[in-house]
Amino acid sequence: MNCAISGEVPEEPVVSTKSGLLFERRLIERHILDYGKCPVTGEPLTIDDIVPIKTGKVIKPKPVHTASIPGLLGTFQNEWDGLMLSNFALEQQLHTARQELSHALYQHDSACRVIARLKKERDEARQLLAEVERHIPAAPEAVTANAALSNGKRAAGDEEMAPDAKKLCPGISAEIITELTDCNAALSQKRKKRQIPETLASIDSLERFTQLSSHPLHKTNKPGICSMDILHSKDVIATGGVDATAVIFDRPSGQILSTLTGHSKKVTSVKFVGDSDLVLTASADKTVRIWRDSGDRNYACGHTLNDHSAEVRAVTVHATNKYFVSASLDSTWCFYDLSSGLCLAKVSDDSEKVDYTAAAFHPDGLILGTGTSQSVVKIWDVKSQANVAKFDGHTGEVTSISFSENGYFLATAAEDGVRLWDLRKLRNFKSFLSADANSVEFDPSGSYLGVAASDIRLYQTASVKAEWNLIKTLPDLSGTGKATCVKFGPDAQYVAVGSMDRNLRIFGLPGDQIPIADDDSAQDS
C-alpha cells in the first residue's frame, strides 16, 4: 500500500479514521498543521483522527549534523517531503482553476446567446411598435370597440392583435370573488360530512390489477400521449397527443367518440369541465381552445384563446365549473371566464421570473398551485392573485401537481421523484424516489395516489406521520420507458395510463375486462 500523497510505500504508515486513506505520518501531520483538512477529500482532519498502523520497523540511526552524509540525507528527505506537499497542492489548485475556467466559458457562451436573442426581440418589438403607431391615428375608437364582448364571445378584433401586444384584463370582480368564496364555504362544509364510497375499489383489488386493454388512439407518425382526463359520470376519457389532436374515448364500448383537431403542435393538457359537454385543451402552439359538443359527439371549437406568448403547459378548472386557469412557459398564468373565453386576470411574479409547467386548483377553489421549470412550487391566493407560499426542494422541472380530496396534502412530481407537502404546516413530510416522475394524481376519494414514471406505482394514502404504503407497481408496457400520465377511473375501479407510444392502456381486475381495440383499425396518419 502506498501513501495517498507521495505515492510511495510509507515508513510510518497511518490511516485516517474519516476517509480510510493511508498516509506517511510525517507528510499528513505537516499537512494537517498547515491546512487542517484531508488533502484528498477536503474534510476537516486533526491529529487525533489519524491512527498509526503497526508494521515491522527498521531501526534508524540517531540523527547527526548536516555536515555528515546521514544528516544530508535527512535534509534531502525533508526537502522531498515539502516538494511532495507543494506539488500536491498545486495539482489541486490546477484542477480547481480548470473547473472555474470551464464554468466561465459556459457562462460567456450563454450570455452571448441571451444577448443575441434579446437583440432579435428588441428589433421585432420596434417593428411592431412602428406598425401600431401607424394604425393608432386612423381609428382611435376602434380599439375600444373591438375589446367589447358580443353574444358571449370575443370580438373579432381581439384575435387580430399583434402577438406581443399587451391585452388589458378587467380583473376578477367583487361579484366573482363572492361567488368563489361561497363555493369554498359550501365545499368545505360538504367535505366535513364526506364518506368514502362503498363502491371504492379495495386495496386487495388494486393489488390484483393487470392490463385489461390497449387502445391506439393517436397517429403512428407522431406517437405519444402527453395528457389525460376522465369524465367519471360518463366513464369517458380524453387524451392529448404529440400529434396535435385530442381524442374523446368511451371506455365501456372501447370506441373513439370524437377527435379534436385544430392545434398546430402537441396538446399538453386536456380537461373536462364538470359534467358538461365542454372540453379544454392547451397546446405548445401557445393557445388554449374551448370545445363544445354540438351534437352526436361532434365537438366544435368555440373559442381559441391567444393570451399567452409561449407554450401553454396546463389548464385546470375551478370547482364552480365557470372559470379556469391556464399556465404557460411565458412566466404567466391566466384566469378565464369559461362562458365568454375572456381573460379576467393575467398574473406574473415580479419578484422572481419562473416558467409555469403545471397547475391545479385546491378542492375548495380559493387556492391555486403551480409548478415551474425552476423546480419551485408556488401557492397562490386566487382572490388577490398573490403568491402566499413557495415550496423548494425538487430537482428539475416540476411536471405535475395534485391536491388531495381532503385539501390537506399536495403531491408534486419532478425529475427527482414525488414529494408530499402538508399545506397546514407548509412543509415536505414525505418523498418517493422515482427518476423522471411525469405525473402524480390522487383518486377522487383521496384514498389512493398514482405516480407515472418509468413504471406506474399506486400508493395508499395516510396521514403525515403514518406510512404511505406501496400497493402495486404496474409496468410500462409501451416499450418507451416513459409513462406520461395516470388517472384513476370511477371509484378507482381501473387505472388509465398514457405513455410515449400512441396507446391508452387500462389496468384493472381481469373480471372487468372491456373490449380490446384492434391496433390495425386505428388511425395511422
Q: Half-sphere exposure of residue 421, counting CA atoms within 13 Å on the CB side?
A: 22
pLDDT in tens, 366-417: 999 999 999 999 999 999 999 999 999 898 899 999 999 888 899 999 988 9
All three cell numbers of 200: 371504492
| d(C-alpha 522, C-alpha 148), whole Å | 44
Is position 152 within any domain? no
- Mean pLDDT of all residues belonging to the chain: 85
pLDDT in tens, 476-506: 888 888 899 999 999 999 999 999 888 899 9
Longest dimension (CA), the chain: 109
483-488 vs 494-499, strand pairing mode: antiparallel
All three cell numbers of 300: 366544435
Residue 111 and residue 229 share a domain = no
Residue 212 and residue 73 share a domain = no
Q: At what angle do helices 25-35 and 69-135 cross, to 10 degrees?
A: 40
Give Cβ neighbours of residue 440 (< 8 Å, ≥ 6 apart).
400, 401, 402, 411, 412, 413, 418, 449, 450, 451, 452, 486
Residue 180 and residue 99 share a domain = no
- Residues spanned by the domain of 354: 174-194+205-508
3-state secondary structure of 259: strand
Residue 209 and residue 107 share a domain = no
Whether residue 38 has pLDDT greater than 80: yes
| Number of structural domains in the chain | 3
Is position 521 within any domain? no
Is position 157 within any domain? no
Is position 362 within any domain? yes
The string of DSSP letters for 16-46 reads: ETTT--EEEHHHHHHHHHHHSB-TTT--B--
Last residue of a domain, one of 121, 145, 163: 121
**Mean pLDDT in residue range 230-247:** 92
More confident residue, 104 or 198: 104
The label of the residue with cell 407554450 reads 311
Residue-wise over 465-483: b if at least 16 C-beta within 10 A, else e?
Answer: eeebeebbebebbbeeebb
Helices and strands, number each (H, E), in the chain: 6, 31
Q: What are phi and psi of 520, to 5 degrees?
A: -75, -15
The reported pLDDT for the residue numbered 71 is 78
Is position 517 within any domain? no
Burial of 12 (0-12, 13-18, 19+ CB in 10 A): middle
**Mean pLDDT in residue range 105-121:** 93
Whether residue 16 has pLDDT greater than 70: yes
Residue 418 and residue 433 share a domain = yes
Which of 64-68, 176-180, 287-291, 313-317 shows the lowest per-residue confidence on average (mean pLDDT)?
64-68
Whether residue 168 has pLDDT greater than 60: yes
**Mean pLDDT in residue range 59-63:** 52
Distance of CA 140 to the CA centre of its chain: 44
pLDDT in tens, 197-238: 888 999 999 999 999 999 998 887 888 899 999 999 989 999
The reported pLDDT for the residue numbered 264 is 93
Where residue 163 falls among pLDDT bands split at 50, 70, 90? Answer: very low
pLDDT in tens, 304-327: 999 999 999 999 999 999 999 999
| d(C-alpha 402, C-alpha 469), whole Å | 18
Residue 395 and residue 312 share a domain = yes
312-317 vs 299-305, strand pairing mode: unpaired
CATH number assigned to the domain comprising residue 44: 3.30.40.10
Whether residue 156 has pLDDT greater than 50: no
Q: Are 225 and 498 in contact (CB under 8 A)?
A: yes
CATH number assigned to the domain comprising residue 242: 2.130.10.10
Residue 297 and residue 370 share a domain = yes
Is position 514 within any domain? no
Percentage with pLDDT > 90 across the chain: 58
Give Cβ neighbours of residue 455 (< 8 Å, ≥ 6 apart).
473, 474, 475, 476, 483
Residue 116 and residue 42 share a domain = no
Residue 56 and residue 76 share a domain = no
How many residues in the chain? 525
Q: Are 457 and 423 in contact (CB under 8 A)?
A: no
Is position 163 within any domain? no
Residue 44 and residue 88 share a domain = no
Is position 300 within any domain? yes
Q: What are phi and psi of 70, to 5 degrees?
A: -60, -35
Residue 115 and residue 27 share a domain = no
The label of the residue with cell 381609428 reads 139
Where residue 148 falls among pLDDT bands split at 50, 70, 90? Answer: very low
| d(C-alpha 313, C-alpha 195), whole Å | 34
Which of 81-85, 157-161, 445-449 shows the lowest per-residue confidence on average (mean pLDDT)?
157-161
Whether residue 52 has pLDDT greater than 80: yes
How far the first Cα of the chain sits from its last, in Å, is 66
Where residue 7 falls among pLDDT bands split at 50, 70, 90? Answer: confident
Query: Whole-prediction pTM value?
Result: 0.66
Whether residue 520 has pLDDT greater than 70: no
| d(C-alpha 9, C-alpha 23), whole Å | 9
Q: Are 147 and 168 in contact (CB under 8 A)?
A: yes
Last residue of a domain, one of 60, 77, 93: 60
More confident residue, 470 or 75: 470
Where residue 63 falls among pLDDT bands split at 50, 70, 90? Answer: low
| d(C-alpha 234, C-alpha 442), whole Å | 19
**Mean pLDDT in residue range 95-102:** 93
The reported pLDDT for the residue numbered 136 is 61
Task: Give whole-number Cα distances, 403 to 24, 408, 409, 440, in Å.
Answer: 59, 8, 6, 10
The reported pLDDT for the residue numbered 521 is 35
pLDDT in tens, 319-352: 999 999 999 999 999 999 998 899 999 998 888 8
Whether residue 159 has pLDDT greater than 70: no
Residue 495 and residue 428 share a domain = yes
